[in-house]
């Protein structure tokens, strides 16, 4: 679960591979990054592929209207079992006053049964949560149906035993999408999410992200926009009750060496009140991190 999204990790950090990546904010960015890192690698006798990948990141969130700031520290460790199969673990420490502090633990996997098809899954749980779901179940596929077109589909379920925006229950999301490739360095990802919360109401979420790679020094720029309800952004804000928001993101990845890259960026959220178009609050989140392959 990512405090403010943070990193358009999946799209901003590494060059594209065979399959396109989903875009949105929060949990799905890191999940998509995991899938991008899992893309099949070329193996040669002269240079065997490296199996371990470490991705730590840190985010700050600042609010207006006297709200307390948030912090988040996240670390992912991935292991490439074969050239087509990757597994990993993640620890996410979230400080979201006044709601409290949570630690979420996750395990995930990504598999390419075929060059143009990727299947992924992720299981997360939070012991004794203050605001987070007790469990999150996620899974999906990415299918490159054409040289310039990749179809995306994901499912997520957030389970709350005692906490939640409106009490115990669950939130479910279906998230189709499409990635359109101009070339290997420039591509656009569009995504729609339809969610159902606590058997009470439905919500929608729309997002788009433009990626521009092969910049000077091998850098990659990602610019994104989204509108709608993203549950991950809402957890910990107490009274918001899954309200809609406008979200703008700008991130940049820069390789330092062949095996080490740094990334940074900022995300701006303009949150609306649930029953009107009036401002609830504004949120600004810078993020820094690195990717180390060894």
Residue pLDDT, tens place only, 187-210: 999 999 999 988 778 999 999 999
pTM, 2 dp: 0.84
Q: What is the mean pLDDT of residues 139-146?
A: 96
Q: Give the pLDDT score at 54.
A: 98
Buried-state track 97-119, b at ≥16 Cβ within 10 A, e below 16 = eebeebebebebbbbbeeeeebb
Give the integer Cα–Cα distance in Å for 218 and 261: 10
Percent of the chain having pLDDT more than 70?
A: 79
The CATH number for 278's domain is: 2.40.160.40
Q: What is the pLDDT of residues 80-123, one digit of tens each?
A: 999 999 999 999 999 999 889 999 999 999 999 999 999 999 99
Domain assignment present for residue 4? The answer is: no
Q: Give the pLDDT score at 253.
A: 96
Higher pLDDT, 177 or 169: 177
Domain assignment present for residue 100? The answer is: yes
Domain assignment present for residue 18? The answer is: yes
Average pLDDT over the chain, rounded to an integer: 84
Structural domains of the chain, count: 1
pLDDT band at residue 48 using 50, 70 and 90 as cut-offs: confident
Q: Give the pLDDT score at 18.
A: 31
Domain assignment present for residue 3? The answer is: no
Name the burial class of residue 257, with classes exposed (0-12), middle (13-18) and buried (19+) by CB atoms within 10 angstroms of its CB: exposed
Domain assignment present for residue 276? The answer is: yes
The three state secondary structure string of 186-202 is: EEEEEEEEEEEECCCEE
Domain assignment present for residue 93? The answer is: yes
Give the integer Cα–Cα distance in Å for 138 and 117: 17
Q: What is the mean pLDDT of residues 48-72?
A: 94
Q: Give the pLDDT score at 14.
A: 39
Most confidently modeled range among 1-10, 17-26, 160-169, 211-220: 211-220
Give the residues across from 25 on adjacent strands. Answer: none
**Other C-beta atoms within 10 Å of 200: how many?**
11
Judge whether 171 and 183 are in contact, CB under 8 Å.
no
Domain assignment present for residue 2? The answer is: no
Nearest 10 degrees: Cα torsion 41, 46, 51, 57: -80
- At 10, phi and psi to the nearest 5? -60, -30
Q: Which domain holds residue 179?
A: 9-40+49-293
Q: What is the pLDDT of residues 218-264, one digit of tens each?
A: 999 999 999 999 877 767 766 556 789 999 999 999 999 999 999 99
Give the integer Cα–Cα distance in Å for 105 and 269: 26
Domain assignment present for residue 54? The answer is: yes
């Amino acid at each position: 679960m990512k405090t403010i999204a943070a990193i358009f990790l999946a799209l901003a950090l590494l060059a594209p591979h065979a399959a396109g990546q989903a875009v949105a904010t929060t949990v799905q960015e890191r999940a998509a990054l995991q899938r991008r890192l899992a893309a099949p690698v070329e193996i040669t006798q002269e240079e065997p592929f490296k199996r371990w990948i470490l991705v730590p990141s840190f985010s700050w969130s600042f609010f207006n209207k006297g709200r307390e700031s948030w912090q988040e520290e996240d670390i992912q460790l991935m292991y490439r079992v074969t050239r087509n199969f990757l597994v990993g673990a993640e620890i996410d420490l979230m400080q979201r006053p006044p709601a409290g502090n949570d630690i979420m633990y996750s395990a995930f996997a990504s598999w390419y049964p075929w060059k143009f098809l990727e299947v992924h899954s992720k299981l997360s749980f939070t012991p004794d949560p203050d605001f987070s779901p007790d469990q999150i179940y996620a899974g999906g596929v990415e299918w490159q149906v054409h040289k310039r077109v990749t179809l995306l589909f994901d499912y997520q379920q957030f389970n709350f035993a005692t906490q939640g925006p409106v009490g115990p229950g669950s939130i479910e999301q279906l998230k189709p999408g499409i990635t359109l490739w101009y070339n290997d360095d420039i591509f656009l990802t569009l995504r729609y999410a339809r969610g159902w919360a606590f058997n009470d109401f439905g919500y929608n979420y729309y997002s788009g992200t433009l990626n521009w790679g092969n910049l000077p020094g091998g850098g990659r720029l990602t610019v994104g926009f989204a509108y709608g309800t993203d549950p991950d952004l809402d957890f910990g804000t107490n009274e918001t009750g899954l309200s809609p928001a406008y979200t703008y993101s700008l991130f940049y990845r820069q390789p330092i060496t062949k095996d080490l890259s740094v990334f940074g960026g900022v995300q701006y959220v303009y949150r609306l009140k649930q029953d009107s178009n009036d401002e609830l609050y504004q949120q600004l989140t810078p993020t820094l991190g690195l990717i180390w392959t060894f």
